[in-house]
Amino acid sequence: MAIKVDTDQGRNYDSILLDIINYVYGYKIQSPTAFRNAKAALLDALGCAFESLQESKELCCMIGPVWAGADIAPDGFKLPGTGYQLDPLKGAFDLGSMIRYLDHNDAFPGAEWGHPSDNIGAILVIAISDMAPPSTLETVLTAMIKAYEIQGCFQIKNAFNKVGLDHTILVKIASTAVVCWMLGLTTDQALSALSHAWMDGHPLRVYRQSPNAGPRKGWAAGDACMRAVHIAFLAGAGQPGAPTVLTQPKWGFYNSLFRGQTFDLPRPFGSWTMENIIFKVHTAEGHGMSAVEAAVATSNKMQRRGIVIEDISHVRIRTQEAGMIIINKPLETLSNAADRDHCMQYMVAVCLIKGAMIETADYQNDSPWANDERVETLRAKIEMVEDPQYTADYHDPLVRSCANAVLVTLKDGTELPEAVVDYPLGHPKRNETVSAVRGKARRNLSLKLPQERVGLIMDTSEDSSFLQMPVTDFVDMFIP
């Protein structure tokens, strides 16, 4: 459904900006699957936020008022899981960071890998802001579906990582667009804001790659949410836009930052991304989720046969190209949790030794695994190789697998049966995914809330009136 978009001072905006605002302001979401998944994603994201509060001292040092003890927003955003009430910018930063910090929120693969639930940090804050019209959860879920779709459609074929930019640029773009709609800004103001989001300074992905991998990859999403909210407020206050922000010769985004390439959007905006989102039921970087399942299966076979870790001479992991780029760290020293959770060898080694899924606590500096010599010895024996078919299937829109295969060779030359997992738990092609996500949310929410409250939240989410529930009432349920 097309809408009439006014243009800034009569000038025409780049067509992709027009397409995004046309979609956000004019498209009606009608997919039951998208709404079902959005509801699960919202509960999952808030559960991840609670898990971060419970497991990460680093995160807890960053959230709350900028000045310790300052009550800066007595009527502000109630930050779930805490007693803080914050202004919209700090609220968006904190919630976005809490959801993302432990790398346990949902994910979407393509030429660019990203985590669309990062956008919830901006969406939920604005939904209860005094600057926006009163919102129901239908508004929140609709904004989520559209933010996911914008981010996902860009991710399919546009590799920001190959020009050194971090994928959180797409969180800023998607959040800016939907926040403008939620605030009731005009389409002209939304176009202005979106152009500012594109012309903004964009983070380098250096903090995701060895030897610089660090905690910033956990709060980068919060930073993008905060920036999106700020840009929307500026546009609402009358700041004009830059209509040719992408295409301007020499100075536009394409020529300045994208090596002269233009964006390839292979499908029209709809609700496809939310319908095909991958949930992280287990705490493992997305490209390694199937590898940890395969490692646990292999470990269980070893235990049944009386084979110990010391009997292993070599481990081969067949993976996709993206896995080779993002989480292949065979020799590097792993200095922090953010470094460990982006190391395939560490994840697989821990699973092989413990015979169970790796957990959030297993990445932390005080985890026994972080200083276990057996982990380091086994890491050195693990080789990752790209399987071209896995890479092709990863990008194929009809397959979209995230496959890994683990093959263990013993010191006597015996090869154990290779464990292959094409679709990890959490993938839309696994029938038990939504149920598993709800179970994960229930466990995580229980870290900060009494069981009665958690039960009420889960029951409310299944009620037929859920979509019409005021967002303020919903958020209040998450305050200890």
**Residue 448: inside a domain, yes or no?**
no
Same domain, 90 and 111: yes
Rounded Cα distance, 37 and 39, in Å: 5
pLDDT of 9 = 46
Same domain, 268 and 417: no
- Name the percent of the chain lying above pLDDT 70: 96
Q: What is the pLDDT of residues 400-426, one digit of tens each?
A: 999 999 999 999 999 999 999 999 999
Last residue of a domain, one of 275, 294, 321: 275
Instruction: Over range 442-462, report the average pLDDT.
Output: 97
Same domain, 352 and 251: no
CATH of the domain at 335: 3.30.1330.120
Q: 367: domain range?
A: 286-421
Amino acid found at 344: M
Among 136, 131, 140, 118, residue whose Cα is nearest residue 73:
131
Q: What is the pLDDT of residues 282-325, one digit of tens each?
A: 989 999 999 999 999 999 999 999 999 999 999 999 999 999 99
pLDDT at 473 over 80: yes
**Residue 238: inside a domain, yes or no?**
yes
Token pair, residue 223, equals: 């930073």
pLDDT at 259 over 60: yes
pLDDT at 10 over 50: no
pLDDT of 73 = 63
Same domain, 349 and 242: no
pLDDT at 459 over 50: yes
Q: What is the pLDDT of residues 360-385, one digit of tens each?
A: 999 999 999 999 999 999 999 999 99
Q: Are 264 and 134 in contact (CB under 8 A)?
A: no
Same domain, 255 and 161: yes
**In 263-417, which residue ranges form alpha helices assigned H by DSSP?**
272-275, 289-304, 321-326, 337-340, 344-354, 373-379, 388-395
pLDDT of 8 = 47
Same domain, 267 and 323: no
Mean pLDDT of all residues in the chain? 94
